[in-house]
Amino acid sequence: MKTDTMAVFGKATESFSAGAKTLPQRYFVAREIFAKEQEAIFSEQWVCVGHQSQIARAGDYFVREVAGESLIIVRDQKGTIGGFSNVCRHRGTRLCEEASGHAPAIQCPYHAWTYALDGRLIGAPHMESAVGFDKSQYSLGTVRTALWEGFVFVNLADDSAPLHSTFAALAGKFTHWNLPKLRSAQRIEYDVRANWKLIFENYSECYHCPGVHPMLSKVSPYDSAENDLCEGPFLGGFMSISKGASLTMSGNACALPVGEIQGEDHARVFYYSIFPNMLLSMHPDYVMVHQVWPTAPDRTRILCDWFFHPEAFGRADFHPKDAVEFWDVTNKQDWRVCELSQQGIASRAYQPGPYSPRESIPAAWDREYLRHLPHAL
Amino acid sequence: MKTDTMAVFGKATESFSAGAKTLPQRYFVAREIFAKEQEAIFSEQWVCVGHQSQIARAGDYFVREVAGESLIIVRDQKGTIGGFSNVCRHRGTRLCEEASGHAPAIQCPYHAWTYALDGRLIGAPHMESAVGFDKSQYSLGTVRTALWEGFVFVNLADDSAPLHSTFAALAGKFTHWNLPKLRSAQRIEYDVRANWKLIFENYSECYHCPGVHPMLSKVSPYDSAENDLCEGPFLGGFMSISKGASLTMSGNACALPVGEIQGEDHARVFYYSIFPNMLLSMHPDYVMVHQVWPTAPDRTRILCDWFFHPEAFGRADFHPKDAVEFWDVTNKQDWRVCELSQQGIASRAYQPGPYSPRESIPAAWDREYLRHLPHAL
Amino acid sequence: MKTDTMAVFGKATESFSAGAKTLPQRYFVAREIFAKEQEAIFSEQWVCVGHQSQIARAGDYFVREVAGESLIIVRDQKGTIGGFSNVCRHRGTRLCEEASGHAPAIQCPYHAWTYALDGRLIGAPHMESAVGFDKSQYSLGTVRTALWEGFVFVNLADDSAPLHSTFAALAGKFTHWNLPKLRSAQRIEYDVRANWKLIFENYSECYHCPGVHPMLSKVSPYDSAENDLCEGPFLGGFMSISKGASLTMSGNACALPVGEIQGEDHARVFYYSIFPNMLLSMHPDYVMVHQVWPTAPDRTRILCDWFFHPEAFGRADFHPKDAVEFWDVTNKQDWRVCELSQQGIASRAYQPGPYSPRESIPAAWDREYLRHLPHAL
């Protein structure tokens, strides 16, 4: 055996310093840490579940699972967006089976109990003869909802800070991107066999781009990143487009500009991670948004939407696939290396490894993450 | 947030009163309660495994799994039905692989140890030279079997009450239905992603029929139920057939009457649940029997047989599919809402909900169930 | 109930005497015992991972999982075979995805860190600017490797006895079989739903052959076994070929003799089990080797290679399929009865059964196994 190699299967005694090295193994594989994350992060923080344009009319709804809880996100008759647990108050039946839809009211498929779009029980056959039954006590369970730049967020905790205070640091920062008015042209869902934190760490650096993303690296130099948010729940900055007008298969813009893009920003893509589950990638002509949903320590469901200016739709110069395909290829390259990392990290041989200077944002993301799990180390 | 809605994700502090509301969540999802049920109910009670007509000749057998134990139910040369564990006494090998069959003896596929149909070891090559080996010590393990109205029951416990005393309350009640002589024309197996208790609760009320079973509701009014067994291990009564001669796709009788059906009973279907795993649905011209086998907290295997008068078979007016299809459609409608209930009940938002006056039998079934798990609450 | 049968579901109170009867149930089903085996046996003993001919040139490698750890077994520029953990020292990424291959160096697919074939880190882009980073501290983790008769063995423990002392009892015993020079013509992988110990117990007796292997029994009498290794980690002996020149579909030899086979050995097959994961079956014209890899208490992955004299390849009289098919059929017959045993042993009704005089080698294997798990009983 060589003297300059370590013994892999002996005991690791290195001390851990958050952000200097990658996280210890248990953060990627342990059921207990996964459960703690679901409780302390996904049940306590504001998480992105979609965009207001996806439920434009009264009665439009979609269903999203947050920390294991199926929620109905629905627009009511007054235009208000509400969040309700997808569980009948009678015998616990799942109310909405479809991922999205439109309905005048929410009716249980079992015994036809019926709820208004604001959650009130308005019909319960035969319950009038049940002694002491009071309809007003059987509204649907509610969850808090709030909007940020047109995106719908929910928070399972009743006592956490309001969204506008949590997001205060971003107030006005993205106004000229016109986010509230955009509309999604396509969604792709990915099922990735890797821990959700690997997805964020991967998104947060381009050190891997030369080897992993040959197509992207040709048009956006991996060392062109300039970050303006370097610590905390919101992290990122821009990278340059050195060739072509946007990140598309053709290299051309594929739609009207999304907003009031000024000067050099026409040749930049802005990449921000919004803790804990949103990735916001703003191009001159489209905005890509990833929702990152952990489903197991080694598994993550990702919803990826491509948003465009509402007036871009239907025009002759509207080619959304040009952008979608570019990133679908690139996304899959990322998921592959995340999956390989998951495999290696699950090994007894894994030890936290050193972050390079090119990985300052993943390191910052780890620090933010650890602030939410102070007792897990 | 509205003031008339509850906070879903706070702590539930409602007290529980058996039968007034549905069971608490853990009864439908917890592995420990499932294990306790398998032990205190399925390993202690008489459970239905089939009908004597399914093993009519000596050497006929079928295999059934009860509380995780694979059992061979076989008729021996004397005509006696016995139950044996499906495990060779030599090296533990599974003896019978097929779900049913016919054999002159039970021979192990590994080293050819051979057992008579009454379980005695009658052949063990080379064991004559094993010191101290005594064949009589290596008979197959036995389980108690008993017949009720032609149905075969087994009981894994050696010290539980005999079947005739457990079933004393039903003595003579079904004599005119001719059950011991009937024969099954078809079996359908269903794999339902719901807790087994949801199957019983669903069977025990027709409050759900208008929404879930449009076809059934047209010919058998959902509010026509008259129950004569309202508390205890045997529950149910009859419902009226308001249109047509039986519950069939055509509305016609599909076979000879099963027994000495008298007067108004020609326009009635009798539905009884036999705790813990049998549903008995007696129509003028056929008897449907469900065996309900829990396989996991959220999964149940159901065997459904359609029995007819033995002389009905082969006649020109014998149309068993006419009945089978009617109930296959109806069964699947039920399994779907049971599966939706399982999904909703698994949510943190689930709380026991109020039973209506139309759900007195499910409430009684819950009470009987809880008598067998006194310490689980 | 008959008086000569035991009550299956009562408590088993028989005492256990290693080797007289089969092992108790928990050895075949308990996760804790599986974990203990992985730790005390598969992480402490020398285990066979392949043959030196399978990585003949510098840069040839294969990947094998040992006790859950993915290892790269690779030949370096000096011709030395080394074993490395398949985990990048940077962010833990799995390095080699393919089961085998050829590469000038080991490069991580994520950030292109590059390791020499002897495990030294030789390239790490941008790390030169990381404060205090020292390449020599980030070589790949190593595992001990050693050769026995041309077969590659690894040992995850740094402090266990060297292979040559463990295998001292076999020194010189197989020299005339020419094992180091042989080459594999085919590998078949099997996934068996049975505990790995059932595979060894099955290999170690031919009491089951008349019923399970009609084809084999015709040409090699089940009672012709003569064992010369009867206790300890190496067990076995020979059986006669009574008809034909070898165990092949045609009955003919299918290749040149593998080594200096003398006299009566031309009509013998030598079967040895090498604790804990190798089965060595030497025929006059080929050598079959099974690697036995437990993957769960009830699941085993088996790699089976057929080795031939290197000069046999390409000749007109070389018919490797003739041997491969013979044993592929026979292997599958064995896996089936092993799977049936797994099923039966998992039953509550299972109790250790008596070994016959024909099962002295399985009994000896059990005793050797128990020496490694002294505290598990």
Residue C15's pLDDT band, with cuts at 50, 70 and 90, is very low
Say if residue C155 is in the same domain as residue C204: no
Nearest CB to A94; choose among B7, B201, B340: B340
State whether B91 and C358 contact (CB < 8 Å): no
Q: Cβ of A119 under 8 Å from any chain B Cβ?
A: yes
Say if residue A153 is in the same domain as residue A52: yes
Q: Cβ of C162 under 8 Å from any chain A Cβ?
A: no
Indicate the average pLDDT of chain A: 94
Q: Cβ of C357 under 8 Å from any chain B Cβ?
A: yes
Say if residue C95 is in the same domain as residue C181: no
How many percent of chain A have pLDDT more than 90? 92
For residues B234-256, b (16+ Cβ closer than 10 Å) or e, as one string? bbbebbbbeeebbbbbebebbbb
In a domain, B11, yes or no: no
Q: What would the two tokens of residue C327 be? A: 């044993």
The upper half-sphere exposure of residue B312, i.e. CA atoms within 13 Å in the direction of its Cβ, equals: 24
Say if residue C104 is in the same domain as residue C149: yes
Q: What would the two tokens of residue A312 be? A: 């871009």
pLDDT tens by residue, A344-376: 999 999 999 999 999 999 999 999 999 999 876
* Alpha-carbon distance A8 to nearest alpha carbon in chain C (angstroms): 5
In a domain, C24, yes or no: no
**What is the pLDDT at residue A374?**
80
Say if residue B128 is in the same domain as residue B231: no
Residue B24's pLDDT band, with cuts at 50, 70 and 90, is very high
Look up the domain containing C268 and give its range. 171-372
pLDDT tens by residue, B91-147: 999 999 999 999 999 999 999 999 999 999 999 999 998 888 999 999 999 999 999
Chains with at least 3 CB pairs less than 8 angstroms from chain A: B, C
Residue C341's pLDDT band, with cuts at 50, 70 and 90, is very high
Say if residue C151 is in the same domain as residue C226: no
Chains with at least 3 CB pairs less than 8 angstroms from chain C: A, B
Partners of C341 in beta bridges = none
The answer to whether the CB of A90 falls within 8 A of the CB of B353 is yes
Say if residue A211 is in the same domain as residue A75: no
* Alpha-carbon distance B28 to nearest alpha carbon in chain A (angstroms): 11
> Of C164, C193, C218, which residue constitutes the final position of a domain?
C164
Residue B10's pLDDT band, with cuts at 50, 70 and 90, is very low
The predicted model gives A191-204 an average pLDDT of 98
* Alpha-carbon distance A124 to nearest alpha carbon in chain B (angstroms): 10
The answer to whether the CB of B50 falls within 8 A of the CB of B62 is yes
The predicted model gives A225-235 an average pLDDT of 97
> Of B164, B190, B224, which residue constitutes the final position of a domain?
B164
Q: Cβ of C104 under 8 Å from any chain A Cβ?
A: no
In a domain, C229, yes or no: yes
Chains with at least 3 CB pairs less than 8 angstroms from chain B: A, C
Residue B11's pLDDT band, with cuts at 50, 70 and 90, is very low
Interface test with C, best of A3, A4, A22, A361 (most C CBs within 10 A): A4
State whether A340 and C43 contact (CB < 8 Å): no
Please check the confidence at residue A3 and state whether its pLDDT lies above 60: no
Q: Cβ of A48 under 8 Å from any chain B Cβ?
A: no
The answer to whether the CB of C301 falls within 8 A of the CB of C190 is yes
**What is the pLDDT at residue A376?**
63
Q: Number of folded domains in chain A? A: 2
Q: Is C172 exposed, middle or buried (0-12, 13-18, 19+ CB in 10 A)?
A: exposed
In a domain, B9, yes or no: no
* Cα separation, B31 vs B297, whole angstroms: 6
- The answer to whether the bond into A276 is cis (omega within 30° of 0) is yes
* Cα separation, A45 vs A373, whole angstroms: 13
**What is the pLDDT at residue A16?**
54
How many percent of chain A have pLDDT more than 70? 95
In a domain, B34, yes or no: no
The answer to whether the CB of C144 falls within 8 A of the CB of C44 is no
**What is the pLDDT at residue B16?**
54
Counted residue by residue, chain B has a size of 377
Amino acid symbol at B18: A
* Cα separation, A333 vs B126, whole angstroms: 62
Q: Cβ of A358 under 8 Å from any chain B Cβ?
A: no
CB neighbourhood size of A31 (10 A): 10
**What is the pLDDT at residue C375?**
72
* Alpha-carbon distance A190 to nearest alpha carbon in chain B (angstroms): 23
Please check the confidence at residue B47 and state whether its pLDDT lies above 80: yes
Which long-range contacts does C98-102 make (Cβ < 8 Å, 24+ apart)? Answer: C98/C63, C99/C62, C99/C63, C100/C54, C100/C60, C100/C61, C100/C62, C100/C63, C101/C60, C101/C61, C101/C62, C102/C57, C102/C59, C102/C60, C102/C61
Please check the confidence at residue A97 and state whether its pLDDT lies above 60: yes
Please check the confidence at residue C8 and state whether its pLDDT lies above 80: no
State whether B141 and C349 contact (CB < 8 Å): yes
CATH of the domain at A89: 2.102.10.10
Residue in A closest to C129 by C-alpha: A357
pLDDT tens by residue, C294-312: 999 999 999 999 999 999 9
CATH of the domain at C325: 3.90.380.10
> Of A117, A143, A164, which residue constitutes the final position of a domain?
A164
* Alpha-carbon distance C111 to nearest alpha carbon in chain A (angstroms): 5
In a domain, A14, yes or no: no
Interface test with B, best of C193, C347, C358 (most B CBs within 10 A): C347
Nearest CB to C344; choose among B86, B112, B138: B86
* DSSP 8-state code for residue B211: H
Say if residue B189 is in the same domain as residue B284: yes
Please check the confidence at residue A190 and state whether its pLDDT lies above 90: yes
CB under 8 Å to A374, separation ≥6 — which residues? none
The C residues from 172 to 201 touching B (CB cutoff 8 Å) are: 201
Short-list C272, C278, C202, C266, CA closest to C235: C272
Say if residue A159 is in the same domain as residue A63: yes
Nearest CB to A207; choose among C69, C111, C120: C111
In a domain, C104, yes or no: yes
| ipTM here | 0.92
State whether A356 and C70 contact (CB < 8 Å): no
Indicate the average pLDDT of chain C: 94
- The answer to whether the bond into C276 is cis (omega within 30° of 0) is yes
Say if residue B272 is in the same domain as residue B246: yes
The answer to whether the CB of A117 falls within 8 A of the CB of A58 is yes
In a domain, C296, yes or no: yes
Please check the confidence at residue B15 and state whether its pLDDT lies above 70: no
Q: Cβ of A162 under 8 Å from any chain B Cβ?
A: no
Say if residue C128 is in the same domain as residue C204: no
* Cα separation, C121 vs C114, whole angstroms: 6
Say if residue B132 is in the same domain as residue B240: no
- The answer to whether the bond into B276 is cis (omega within 30° of 0) is yes
